[in-house]
Amino acid sequence: IVISGGTGSGKTTLLNCLGGLDEPTSGRITVGGKDVTAMNEDERTALRRDDVAFVFQTFGLVPMLSAAENVGLPLRMRRVPSVEREDRVARLLDLVGLADHARQRPSELSGGQQQRVAIARALANSPRLLIADEPTGQLDADTGAAIMSLLQSVVSSEGMTAIISTHDPSVRALANGTLRLADGVLTTSAA
């Protein structure tokens, strides 16, 4: 699902509420049958750890960690045994086409490669919902198209739902459905 709208329309706020980062001022949000609006902070943290993953336009990688270490971070937080963690990291880096870049730090990678690492990290815990806020916003058109193709493929193969905010009409064309926001109000919906 793609969420579109102008700057300040509420796209990021909506995504943050869906993922339990922000609390809505009214209404109810349900993710995977769980009422996010009724959760306490510990429950929202568990939701983000177990069911929801985020990909941001600023990548959010830890600069002093390698690509593999960045991807493995969520698995470390869940105390996944090292052999299992290393196997999952290797498979995810291969999935995003970066198996040969596992030891490189973010500063040694291009913007598109950094976004691929961020996507692999988001997939580490096999989330049910992937939230991507302007994932192609800092990328050139060709790299952005490659990232969206990768996201589309991963979402399909992993059987997850993705909600992506964007200004990019080419990204909207790839969606199964679109929502448009204006001043925090849903103005259109299409399947």
**pLDDT band, residue 102 (cuts 50/70/90):** very high
166-176 confidence digits (pLDDT tens): 877 777 777 88
Q: For the packed helices 141-158 and 111-123, what is the interaxial angle rounded to 10 degrees? A: 10
* Helix/strand/coil for 94: helix
DSSP strands (E only) in 68-148: 129-133
Residue 176's SS3 state is: coil
Rounded to whole angstroms, how far apart are CA atoms 143 and 146? 5
Q: The pTM is what?
A: 0.85
Cα 44 versus chain centre, distance: 16
